[in-house]
Amino acid sequence: MDSPAPPPRRSVLFVCTGNTCRSPLAEALCRRMLADRLGCEPDELPARGFAVASAGVMAYPGDAASPPAVDVAAEHRADLTAHRSRPVNPELLAAATDVIAMTRGHLLALRAAFPAVGPEPVLLCDADDLPDPIGGDAAEYRACARLIAGNLDRFIKGWLGS
């Protein structure tokens, strides 16, 4: 009996400004949602053909995710406790099959700083910028997470062919 073909390799990079709120939250929620759909744990995603990461166009390396982002991720059974920020770079972009930006400003920054490197970045929210919850309360972070999850759903369906 022939073994099934390995799943397609997909490497997703989420990009925001400082890589401490929106893009790490998108990364963590994406990992959790993909794992749930595939019936595995998030740390098993690479074996299933998925790599999910995040970076920032103005990130300072090594910053932790904002505490409210960590808390809201945990409410979704996603873990941001080990997250450390990193700036976007040509290597990350070149390794990605999908680059997903949080705002039009991030799209423009990526195109200006890294022309023709990696795939064409797309906006997470169909036609709108994802509001930045930085400095906001838990309700703002929860609203941000709801928007992220709702928009991730359509990407994940496309990636999984469902």
Q: Is 129 among the catalytic positions?
A: no
The single residue of 22, 30, 32, 98 carrying the catalytic annotation is: 22
The single residue of 10, 86, 132, 142 carrying the catalytic annotation is: 132
Q: Is 98 among the catalytic positions?
A: no
CA distances, 117 to each of 17, 82, 87, 106 (Å): 19, 28, 15, 15
DSSP class of residue 162?
A: -
**Residues for the chain: how many in total?**
162
The DSSP string of 79-97 is: --TT-B--B--HHHHHH-S
The single residue of 16, 21, 30, 144 carrying the catalytic annotation is: 16
Number of neighbours of residue 85 by Cβ within 10 angstroms: 22
Q: Is 22 among the catalytic positions?
A: yes
Residues belonging to the active site:
16, 22, 132
